[in-house]
Structures are given as C-alpha cells and as structure tokens.
Amino acid sequence: MRLTSVVRLAMLCGTLAAGQAHGDSKKHDQLASLEPDIPRRAKVTCAKLRQQLDRNSRQIGLNDRIAPRSWGNVPDDLRKLPPGAELCGAEAELGQVVITSGLYGKELESYYAPLFARIGCQPLACNVIDPRSGLRSQTRCRCSVPGVVGTITTDLQHQAFSLVVTR
C-alpha cells in the first residue's frame, strides 16, 4: 500500500485533529451507562466532518476529498445505514465510506455482521481497543475471505466510522 494511501486510511479511521466536542446524544449517554467502555465522542454533522477531513488532507499535502452522499465501490448489500446514521460520502481512491453514527462495539458488530455475511465476508469480528493498552478506545471490525476484506473503524473523537470493502 502506498504511503499516501496509508495516511489517508489513518485519517479516515479516526486520527482527525479535533475541534471542541458538540455534546453527546441521549442514546450515547444511555449506552455509556450500560457499557462503561464506550468513550465520549462528539456528535458531528457530515458537512463538518468532510470539512475537517479536507482540511487535514490539505495540511499533509494531499488533495483528497469525500464525495458527498456517495457509496463509492461498496457492494449494494452493505449500503444500509443504521437508525439515526448519515452517509457522509466516499473517498474515491481507497473507496472508504464515512458514516456518522453513535454505534460502537458490539452494537456496530450486531448491525453490520449480517450485512457482511450477505457478501460472503464472515465472521465480522469487532474488537474494542482497551484504553489501558495506552491507545485511545476505538472499535475495529474486520472480516476476510479469499477475494474480500471488509473493515469498519470508529473515529477516535467523533460519532462516526469508516467502512471499507476491498475485492
């Protein structure tokens, strides 16, 4: 994978430079009380997230943009949004789709595992990075079968995630 592709992937997988938090949803607060491992992440609109991604991309010398409301090359069976989620768009070169949603951990896995199974990519296994490891808490999901790799990675600071399918 080229260095610029790795940098783009890292940017879209949750290493954004953060602005100030904009508050958390009631659902997130309820989930946080049930699952203390869910970090507080700022709710963000797609417009704001695309703007931040574009700015970060330019700062490192790339002219990379998210095509608004595009699913890119994501298979039709995966083009479903969780309740309350918004499709921000796809990054053209890597085909990453960016979605705003408060889903995290097992909820993310429960929603997307049946969808990935439809394209033969199973099991979708999601792991939450334990902040005690020295890294920030994040959900990382992956499935892999010959010819297909699927990943979902939550943003570190915003209620958003990237979804990628490589064939």
Residue 42 near residue 79, CB atoms below 8 Å: no
Residue 65 has pLDDT above 70, yes or no: yes
pLDDT at position 106 is 95
Q: Tell me whether the omega of the peptide bond preceding residue 123 falls within 30 degrees of 0, making it cis.
A: yes
Residue tagged 């097992």 (tokens)? 106
Please give the Cα distance from 38 to 29 (Å, whole number): 9
This prediction has a pTM of 0.77
Distance of CA 107 to the CA centre of its chain: 13
pLDDT at position 37 is 60
> pLDDT higher for 29 or 128?
128
The domain locations on the chain are: 3-166
What does the block give as tokens for 58? 């330019």
Please give the Cα distance from 132 to 79 (Å, whole number): 34
| Tens-digit pLDDT profile for residues 69-117 | 999 999 999 999 999 999 999 987 778 999 999 999 999 999 999 999 9
